[in-house]
Structure formats: C-alpha cells, structure tokens
Structure 1
C-alpha cells in the first residue's frame, strides 16, 4: 500500500510515494548501502487504449482537508456531548478516527508531492521510504479498522434490538473500550505486517478475504435484524413500547447506509487487488488499473461522506456539531 501511483498515473515521472500493491513489479528496494534500485513501473496506457484521467493534486488536497475537518468535528462532538457517551457512539467515533487516517495520509502525501514538484523539497531515498511506510500503514489501518468497527456496530445494534433488556449488562462501557483497544491493536499489527510483506500474494488474499468475511457477517446480522425486527415491532407496539425499538432500528438503518457507502467507495480498491491476483497481464485488467486515481478519490470521498451521514441521521449529534461550528466561528471572528 502506498501512494506513488498517483504520480505515475498522472505524469509517469519520479517514482514516488504510493500504494505498493498497485505496482505489479517490485518498488524501489533500498539496500543496506542505501543504493536505490529503480524499477520501471508498468506502462498502463500502452497496454491498452484506455484513457488516463488526469486528476490535479489540488483536488486530493482539498478533499483531504475537508474530510479531516469534518471527522475532527464528529470526534469533538461525541466527546463534548454526554448524551452521546454510549458504546455505539464510541464505535462511530472510532470510525471517524479511521476516516481521519485516510485524510491525514492523503494530505501529507499530497503536500510532499506538491512541494517536491515545485522544487521546494528534496528528500533522501531512506527518508522517503520511511515516510512511505508510515503513510501505507495509516491507510491499511484505516481499511482494517473501518471494516472491524462496521461489524462491531452491527453486532451492537443486533444486541440492542434482540436483547434490549440485557443490553447494558452485555455491552458495558468497559467491554466497549476493550473491543476498541483490541480492534486498533489488531489493525495496526496487521497493517504493519501487510506493508512489510507486500510482495507476498498471500497478504493480498488475506486482506480480500477479511473484506468479504466482514461484509458477509455484517450483512447477515442486518438481514436478520430487519426481518425479525418487523415482527417484533408489531408486538412491542401492542404494549406501547415502540420508541426504543424505533430508535434501535434507526441506528441499524444508519449503519446500513454507512456500510453501503463503504462498499461503493472501497469496492474498486478491493476489485483492483483481486485483479492483481487473477489477471495482472490481461489488457482489460490493465485498463482497470489505469483508473487508480479515481479509486483513490472514491476512498477519500468515503471519509468525507461518513460525517454527513452521522449528522443527518442523528439529531443529537447534529445539534452538537452546530454548536461546535458556531463556537468556532465566533472564536475566529
């Protein structure tokens, strides 16, 4: 995982920071003597007559900054409002942090590329490699943690709906914190392993398999929720207790929307990985690879859209966000 393909796709120039797996040949390999071994990247455009879409670096930077500000506001709103101090919102806060990892890595990488392109920054190969690895780990940690927290929130909503009376004894704050620590630890560890062994196809297979397992698990929980909750809602309404059920279902619907957006935005990324494994030399696959910049834009858009979904679906969060924005505006004025 890294980011120099953006530059290769746009300019076919200096071998830069980018997602390692999207080179079908090895990257710069830095030996102990710090001698750079330049390996030419695949010529995507000559492989087929696909049109390479030029995307300005300024667009990446703008989207990254907007996404970063949005997700910071979500985290601050959840911290500020005690009514949002519940396991589900803790997990949503972690989702926002996952999105922030994408935003920060994109902003940092784009700024370095812009500075380098304008001759304002010179980096030694060793420093570039270390920065590349850090950015890669951030992006990989984001996707692994996002999938994990989407599944965790699905399980949380499932417990809320079908074990409502025992929810607070099952999903305690202590257990929620433990889950968060385990997910982040596993995500960072797996991402580090993934980056340092990126040349092994087994690593790509593991990531793709994890993607599909979490999606199947989450989809199965939601399907069961929506089928049985429809029957349960009728019984609960008969006892005039529909409010809690409606709130729980609203939370489930919100996370269903988040999952759908995640699949749309990250789907091309994982399809890219699958095609690397199955048909790296096929002209049609190489045509798909040539649109890598668009896949990056979709990933960044996922980080930008998620906070809008949180705010639209949660009145309490929306109110707190308005207060934060208003206070920030008054402070600036």
Structure 2
C-alpha cells in the first residue's frame, strides 16, 4: 500500500473523502483524471507545506503554554482555558507533523511501512484530531461562559469561577473529548459518528451565538451598574476578553467550516458530481485546519499585552541573562 495522499492512511472520520468504501482505493490517478474531465479543479498541496506549517504552529502554541505557565499574572481561569485551547491546537500540529514525516519517509523509500502499522498510526492520529476539535469547541464555549460571568456577575465572579472549579471543568472537558474521540474512531463506519460531530459543531455555535448576543446587546446597560461600583476597568477588560473570543471563534469557523461542510455533504450527497469535486480538495481543508492552530497564538499575543510581553521574553531568552 502506498501513501500517495493523506486520505489513504486508514479508515477514519478525519481522512474520509467520499465514502467508507473509498478509503483504500488503488485507482486515485484514474479518478483524478475523470474529475478533471468533469471540470473539477483539484488543488495539489506539497507535503513539505504541511510539515512547515505544522512545525511553526507547534512552536507557537508551545510558547503560549510556556508563557502562561511562567507569568503568574496570567494564572487565572480565562488564561487556563486559553492554555488548554493552545494544547488542543498542539494536538493538530503534532498529528500533522508525525503523519507528514511518515508519508515523506515512505515516498522517498526511506521506510517500508507495514499496513498494520499504518492502521495503528492512523487511529492514534485520528484520536488526536477528534480530541482537538471536540476540546477546542468545548473550551471556546467555556471561555464564552467565563466572559459572560465576568460581565454580568462581575462582583461574584471570583466566587463563581474559582481556580478549583476551573481545574475541574478542564479535567471534565479533556476526559469527555478523549473518550468521545476513541468512540468515534472505534465506530468510524457508523454514519451516526458524523451526525454527532456535525450536531456538536452546530450546537456549540448556537450556544456561543446566544451568549454573544446577550453580552454585546446588554453590556452597555450593565456597564452603568459596574461603573457605579467603580468597576469600569473590569468591564473594559471583560469586554476585551469577549472580543478576543469573538475573533477566535470567527477564525475557528472559517478554518474548520469546510471540513464540517465536507462531513455534511458526505451525509447528503455522497455521489453527486458537485460534491465529488468538493471532496477532491480535502487536503486544502486540512491546510485550513492547520492554519487555525497557527493563527490562534497570534490572536492571543495581539489581544493581550501581558501575554505578548511574556512571549517576547521567552523568544529573546531574557530570563537567561537576568534582564
């Protein structure tokens, strides 16, 4: 079995292109030619680009995690959740780097990969990817809820969102993400798996949209009460946090949207010529997913002066010279 493209590493949701029976197709070139005759445009992406973007994304998110751990001013529930979001992005980066390295080694004849080994590797990678998407969506919802509490229950925030509760929430999210991902991979041939993923994606978007509407439409009225208690600085900081989350969610939708549209089309029109053309650019959707992991740390740094300062110190290694 050859690793000619990323959709042939094994049976999984992440690599699903047309239908379960297409996983190990040996006539990709024939299908590609037929697609071109039908007017389909297939964008070919070199493996080296996957590897480069994966490594950059991995380094960026490692820096974010180290910065939050290093700076005590960032030891708060919101930054704990952001740290976990960075870890979720790291799962995408690590899985992409490992997968690409195996594919490049195999393509250049430097490693003879046994099909059984491929299947095990693919299952591990798919669990990481599914854990990433489930945990990312969960932590985006958690951050939204945290900002909501900060804005509307400012005086009680530290009693409601304690460090202990934040740690419990983080543990539950990771446990649920890993467990559900393993179940998704075990039952990958069941169409219910795709339905569950798409439903979860839509449900989290609705949840965040409801919170955002309430926050941004009523924040102005509520801010007067906050100011009356001389807490205007907290209000400003909370709204800035809400805006940061809005940007993060928007980038997530743009980068992951085509992948979930891919899953929806598998359910609705797996044999349609138009859908088949869409399926052929699956690698482009993977690049967008990796770009999400690469862009998120830039958003954190741009929106937070404290985090940006700590990241600068890490990059320049200022602590090593006592600066």
Query: Structure 2 residue aligned with 1:279, among 244, 269, 274?
Result: 269
Tell me which residue corresponds to 1:325: 315
Give the distance between the partners of 2:33 and 2:86, measured in 1 at CA.
36
Task: Report matched runs for 1:124-135 at 5 Å.
Answer: 124-135=114-125
How far off its partner does 1:23 sit? 4.1
2:16 aligned partner:
21
Retained in 2: the 8 A contact 1:102–1:303? yes
Match of 1:72 among 62, 66, 79: 62
Q: Which among 80, 88, 98 is matched to residue 108 of structure 1?
A: 98
Q: Does 1:210 align with 2:203?
A: no
1:316 aligns with 2:316: no
Contact persistence 1:20–1:27 (CA under 8 A): no
CA distance in 1 between partners of 2:57 and 2:201 (Å): 23
Residue of 47, 51, 57 corresponding to 1:61: 51
Q: Is the 8 A contact 1:45 1:52 kept in 2?
A: no
C-alpha separation between the residues in 1 aligned to 2:44 and 2:306? Answer: 41
Partner in structure 2 of residue 140 of structure 1: 130
Q: How big is the alpha-carbon RMSD for the aligned residues of Structure 1 and Structure 2?
A: 1.9
C-alpha distance in structure 1 between counterparts of 2:289 and 2:4, whole Å: 15
Q: Distance in 1 between matches of 2:141 and 2:39?
A: 40
Match of 1:46 among 27, 34, 37: 34
Q: TM-score, normalised by structure 2?
A: 0.92
Larger CA deviation: 147-156 vs 321-330: 321-330
Equivalent residue for 2:172, pick from 166, 173, 182: 182
For residue 21 of structure 1, report the CA deviation from its aligned partner: 2.5
The answer to whether the Cα contact below 8 Å between 1:154 and 1:255 also exists between their aligned partners in 2 is yes
Aligned residue pairs total 313
Deviation at 1:222, TM superposition (A): 1.0
State yes or no: 1:257 paired with 2:247.
yes
What stretches of structure 1 of length at least 5 have no aligned partner? 9-14, 29-37
Q: Which moved more, 1:110-119 or 1:44-53?
A: 44-53
Is the 2:313–2:319 Cα contact (8 Å) retained in structure 1? no
Q: 1:230, CA displacement in angstroms? A: 1.4
CA distance in 2, matches of 1:217, 1:5: 40
| 1:284-303 equivalent positions in 2, closer than 5 A | 284-303=274-293
Query: What CA distance in whole angstroms lies between the structure 1 residues aligned with 2:134 and 2:257?
Result: 14
How far does residue 135 in structure 1 lie from its aligned partner after superposition? 0.4
Q: 1:5 to 1:226 in 2, by over 3 A?
A: farther
Residue 70 and residue 321 in structure 1: after superposition, are their counterparts in 2 closer, same or farther (change >3 A)?
same
Structure 1: distance between partners of 2:214 and 2:130: 30
Query: How much has 1:74 moved relative to structure 2?
Result: 0.1
What's the CA shift string for 1:232-264, capped at 9, x where partnerless?
224434554311100000000000100000000
Measured in 1, the distance between the counterparts of 2:176 and 2:238 equals 28
Distance in 2, matches of 1:261 and 1:122, equals 38
Aligned partner of residue 122 in structure 1, secondary structure:
coil
Deviation track 1:74-115 (CA, whole Å, cap 9, x = no partner) reads 000000000000000000000000000000000000000000
Contact (CA 8 Å) 2:198, 2:263: kept in 1 or not? Answer: yes
